[in-house]
Amino acid sequence: MVSKLRFAVEFVPQETYWQTTALGILAEKYGFDFCWITDHFNNRSVYIILSLLANYTDQIMLGPGVTNPYLINPVQTASTIMSLDNLSGGRAVLGIGAGDKITLNLLGIERDKPLSAVKESTQIFRTIFDTGKIKDFKGEVFSVEKAKVAFEKTGEIPIYIGAQGPKMLQLAGSLGQGVLINASHPTDFQYAMTQIKKGVTEANRKLSDVDIAAYASVSVDKKIENATKAATPVVAFIVAGSPPVVLERHGISVESVKPLAKALGKGDFPTAFGAVTDEMLEAFCIRGTPDECTKKIKALEKVGITQFVFGSPIGPKKRSSMELASKEILPHFA
C-alpha cells in the first residue's frame, strides 16, 4: 500500500531569527511538507519567522502551530495569515488552539470559554478567508459588526485545530481542515479518532476531509542514548502538564508524577529530569534510531494519522536529526 502520510517539522523560535530560518530552509530541502512555528510571547515573533521563511522557501507549507484567540483578535489573525499567504504564494496554513492557561494567566488574561472561543475564531477565519469580509457576527466570546480585508488570499488556507480533550477533538472533526494532536502514542490516537469521528459524523463530513496530524515529541539519533538524553527534558514538562486521565491511560500514577512536577516548579531540573521513567518516555515521545522511530510512526499511521510532525526536540542536534530523518525515515513512507 502506498503511504499517504505527509511530514512536518516544528520549531520553537528561541534562537536568532536566522538560525530558525536556516532550519526551515533545510526542512524544505530535506523533503518536509509543512513547517509549524510555535507561538509564545516569550519567544521571537512567530509571524516574523514565518515571513522570513516565506521569502526563502518555495514549496513547504507555513503556519503558526498554534496561535490562540485571546492575545490577538481573530479578525487581525485572519488578515495576518492572508498576508502570509500572499507573501508565500499560497502556502499559508493556520493552527489555532485554546492557548496555555498558565501563560495567559501570567498576562492577566482569563481563558474564558475556550471551546466557544476556538469555534467562533474558526468561523470568523473561514468567513474572512472565503469572502474577505464578515458582518454581524455575534458569539459568546467574539462579536464583529463589520470587518473587511482590502486584499484577497492567494490560495486556499487550511485551518488546523489544536486539540486533546473530547469536545475540542469533536470540534476539529466538525469544523477543521485538520487537527493537531499533541501526542506520540497509538493509545492516545485511538481515543482521539473516536472523538474526531463523532465531530465528522455530526457535521455530515467524511473523515478524509480532516488531516489528522500527530504533533509528536520526537528525538532521533543513531544512538538511542543520545536520543533519550535529548528527549528527557521535553518529556518531563509534558508529563508535569498532563491531566490525570491521560496519565492513567498510560498506566502512570498521578502520585508518581508529583515529585517531578514539584521539582520543575522549584527550578530543580536535575531532580525533575532524573524522575523521568522509561514508561514516561514511551508514552510521551518517539525516540531512538531511525529504524525504531520508523516502526513507531508506522504504528500511528495504522491508527489513522495523515500527517506526522517532528516536534521538539527533534533530536540532539536539529539539523543532523532532520537530515537523518530525511534519509532514513521519510523514504519508508514515499
Asked if residue 140 is part of any domain, the answer here is yes
Asked if residue 255 is part of any domain, the answer here is no
pLDDT class for 105, splitting at 50, 70, 90? confident
Q: What is the mean pLDDT of residues 48-67?
A: 98
As given in the structure block, the three cell numbers for residue 112 are 474564558
CATH code where residue 120 lies: 3.20.20.30
Closest-CA residue to 176 (of 123, 99, 133, 117): 123
Q: What is the pLDDT of residue 1?
A: 56
Asked if residue 276 is part of any domain, the answer here is no
Containing structural domain, residue 96? 6-226+286-333
pLDDT, tens digit, 9 for 90 and up, residues 204-260: 999 999 999 999 999 999 999 999 999 999 999 999 999 999 999 999 999 999 999
Asked if residue 238 is part of any domain, the answer here is no
Asked if residue 210 is part of any domain, the answer here is yes
Q: What is the mean pLDDT of residues 67-96?
A: 98
Asked if residue 209 is part of any domain, the answer here is yes
Asked if residue 55 is part of any domain, the answer here is yes
Q: What is the pLDDT of residue 62?
A: 98
Asked if residue 264 is part of any domain, the answer here is no
**138 residue type, one letter:** K
- Average pLDDT, whole number, for the chain? 96
As given in the structure block, the three cell numbers for residue 11 are 520549531
Number of separate domains in the chain: 1
Q: What is the pLDDT of residue 2?
A: 67
Q: What is the mean pLDDT of residues 190-206?
A: 98
User: What is the rounded distance in angstroms from the CA atom of residue 144 to the CA atom of residue 2?
Assistant: 45
Closest-CA residue to 221 (of 122, 316, 126): 316
pLDDT, tens digit, 9 for 90 and up, residues 143-164: 999 999 999 999 999 999 999 9
